[in-house]
Structure 1
Amino acid sequence: MQPRQQTELEKVKARIRALAAKTTDRGCSEAEAMLAAQKVGELLEVYGLGMSEVELREEACIQREVVITGARLQAVGIIFMAILRLTETRGWMVGRSQFVVFGLEPDVLMGEYLLHVVAGAVDHEETLFRASESYRRSRLAPQQRLRSFRYGFAERVSDRLDELAAHRRASEEAAHATSGAGTALVVAKEARLSEAFRGLGIRLRSRTTTRRVSDGAAFRQGVAAGGRVGLERPVGAGAAAPALPRPRR
């Protein structure tokens, strides 16, 4: 890497670190947090497109832990895999409440950030749902209503994150098409992650859970709430890229 290019990439990484630290859990307003998410996404794109295969191999991998507790854990646990796919990271859970994200530093910081954003959104939207007329009118037990709402929320947010992941891949492939480096960079990144992960000596086990929707109306409200979360351009979408369409009301 040329000294000038290395300096520019370090500047980008420093800005990603600063912006990713802006979450509503850390005293930042929701509007500020959403603006920070958009800017981090733009910087991640600059960072990714500015790296070569050699630089990818030299890049250090890190891991960050995020503890999520309370009722929101039910939805966040479902969304976690979509966050990993979007940020191109590896991840696992320790116990029932600790989420671990592992990968290249900018990607991991974005994964940590999204976990905080989603957790805060679950709390906000569930408060609105509890105050709604449909919640009060339902004859089902409160936990059945709330569980169905969380499942709908998690499904919609996961779908939106997967749409953003597909957009990120397409943007990267298009940007590298002229140089023919796209496939090589994807392979190099996966190899770097696999090598670093093996060095941890961790063996992961998959876990399956059964989800049953008891309240269809609550589930649909959860889907609508998941469409309201401010996820436009969190990763891999520059300022000129179109935002995801809002769901029709």
Structure 2
Amino acid sequence: MNRETIRKRVNILRERTTARGCTEAEAMEAAEKIAEMMREHGLSGDDLDMGEEAGLVKASDKRLRLPLWGLIAGCTNTAAITRTLLSGLQVVYVGREPGPEIAVYLLDVCNNAIDAELARFRRGDFYRSRRKASTRRKAALDFTAALVQRLCRRLDRMFEGNRNHADAQRAAQELDRRFPTAQSTKPARRHKVTYDSAAEAGWLAGGRVHLGHGVRGGSDKPLLIGRN
């Protein structure tokens, strides 16, 4: 049983209170079980309040997408780290719940949208009229960079009222505690556009993407994160 599974089980037990309809005996039994599990597995209060979720990304243009993944962390009051796995690149979000789950939901939505819009662009006349593999690649990068920029602006506006500095700071501290050997990476260099037409198409595509505040498997209704 991994640490995250244990944490979730403890949090389920925390819901067994008299205010929620449990008897005093049931609430006391749950409290005793919580204390036992926390001692046994070395869990702290932060372990219970701070969640962790990870999403897998398979993309060859991760340099262009990194700013988006970082912005998602800022929007959801979480902290993020990337790890390279055999199956692809894993983006891990740590923070106060439901921040991490919302972050991975947005990660999935945005990356799937980028992949779908890029595939559509590659079927278009502009991309297909590029004769060389190198010029087609430049066109695709210009398209993706502009699309990501548009998504970043939209998310920034969407979550403007949900940012909480204290929660974000706690998330960063918790990330450092969970991943003490992690190293920071240098910010990506600003992308230099070769084809204005490709960049314009990417910007327009970024406006078409449907963005919701929802959680995977839940509704798209706005959620207030980082607030009591």
Which residue, 131, 139, 144 being the options, matches 2:138? 144
Amino acid at match of 2:198: A
State the match for 1:27 in structure 2. Answer: none
Contact 1:89/1:108, CA 8 A, preserved across alignment = yes
Q: Assess if the C-alpha contact under 8 Å between 2:142 and 2:202 holds in 1.
A: yes
* Contact 2:78 2:167 survives alignment (8 Å): no
User: How is 1:95-114 mapped onto 2 (pairs within 5 angstroms)?
Assistant: 95=84, 97-114=89-106
> CA-atom RMSD, angstroms?
3.4
Whole-angstrom distance in 1 between the partners of 2:81 and 2:109? 19
So what's the TM-score if we normalise by structure 1? 0.59
Higher RCO (Cα < 8 Å, 6 or more apart): 1
SS, match of residue 97 in structure 1: strand
Look up the match of 1:161. 155
CA separation in 1, counterparts of 2:113 and 2:154? Answer: 14
Structure 2 residue corresponding to 1:215, chosen from 171, 178, 195: 195
The offset of 1:142, in angstroms, is 0.6
Distance 2:18 2:203 in 1: 47
Residues 4 and 132 (structure 1 numbering): CA distance in 2 closer, same or farther, change over 3 Å?
Answer: farther
1:189 to 148, 167, 170: 167
Task: Specify every segment of 5 or more residues in structure 1 that has no aligned partner in the other structure, as ranges.
Answer: 8-55, 170-185, 240-249
Post-superposition Cα deviations, 1:143-198, rounded to whole Å, max 9, x if no partner, equal 010010000111000111111121434xxxxxxxxxxxxxxxx4653464355334
In the alignment, is the contact (CA less than 8 A) between 1:72 and 1:122 conserved in 2?
no
TM-score (norm 2): 0.64
Contact 1:59–1:104, Cα closer than 8 Å, also in 2: no
Alignment of 1:87-126 (within 5 A): 87-95=76-84, 97-126=89-118
- Give SS of 2:144's match: helix
Distance 2:175 2:20 in 1: 25
Matched residue, 2:8:
none
Report 1:121-136 matches (<5 A).
121-136=113-128
Post-superposition shift, 1:130?
A: 1.3
1:5 Cα offset (Å):
6.8
Shift of residue 105, structure 1, vs aligned partner = 3.1
CA contact (8 A) 2:212 2:221 kept: no
After superposing on structure 2, the runs of 4+ consecutive aligned residues of structure 1 that deviate more than 6 Å are: 4-7
**Structure 2 spans left out of the alignment, 5+ residues:** 1-13, 22-44, 223-228
Q: Count the aligned residue pairs.
A: 176
Q: Which amino acid aligns with 1:94?
A: R
Distance 1:119 1:223 in 2: 15
Shift of 1:103: 1.0
Contact 1:75 1:122 in 2 (8 A): no
**2:185 corresponds to:** 206
Matched, 1:64 2:53: yes
